[in-house]
Amino acid sequence: MEEKPQIGYSKKVMDHFLNPRNVGEVEDADGIGIVGNPVCGDLMQVSIRVEDEIITEIKFKTFGCGSAIATASMVTELAEGKSLDEALEITRQDVADELEGLPPIKMHCSNLAADALHKAIEDYRQKQAKTAET
Ligand code: FES
């Protein structure tokens, strides 16, 4: 008999939850994005190192639940090595698809990581623009 995923979580979600990749904070990060989950109030932070417009290092920290941890772990894997423009195209839906689905009630948690990544990229670009001005 095929093993059923528990309470609607795929095996992939469980794997990323139990073994999250890229946890922590990039030292002297080039960009940091922080977002709050409007539903539960939990926070997600994504920090990035950028070299020649490529994300060479990315880490996350969250107070969020298992779904937030799993999606953030997934997002960091998707984004590492991508150009900033490619990383901006990582959508909430891509992440959910990549994780092979999440229970609908947890979709708001899975939005945090992609949103925080986009903010980190914005933060990097704003800092770059400021440096260029001076
Ligand atoms: Fe807060 Fe999921 S319940 S991030």
Q: What is the dihedral of CA 23, 61, 72, 78, to 10 degrees?
A: -60
**Per-residue model confidence (pLDDT) at position 118:** 97
pTM over cut 0.75? yes
- Class in CATH terms, 11-133: alpha beta
Active site residue 109: yes
Pocket flag, ligand 1, residue 71 (CB < 6 Å): no
At position 4, the amino acid (one-letter code) is K
Helix residue ranges per DSSP H, the chain? 11-18, 66-79, 84-88, 92-98, 107-133
Active site residue 65: no
What whole-number distance in Å separates Cα of residue 116 and Cα of residue 63?
13
CB neighbours of residue 49 within 10 Å: 18
**Per-residue model confidence (pLDDT) at position 3:** 54
Pocket flag, ligand 1, residue 67 (CB < 6 Å): yes
Token readout for 106 is 């947890």
Which of 35, 108, 110 to probe ligand 1 with, by most ligand atoms within 8 A of CB?
108
* Residues of the chain where predicted confidence (pLDDT) is lower than 70: 1-7
Q: How far is CA 53 from CA 28, 68, 82, 87, 93, in A?
A: 17, 26, 9, 10, 24
Token readout for 74 is 């997934």
Size of the chain, expressed as the number of residues it contains: 134
Nearest CA to ligand 1 atom 3: 65
**Per-residue model confidence (pLDDT) at position 5:** 47
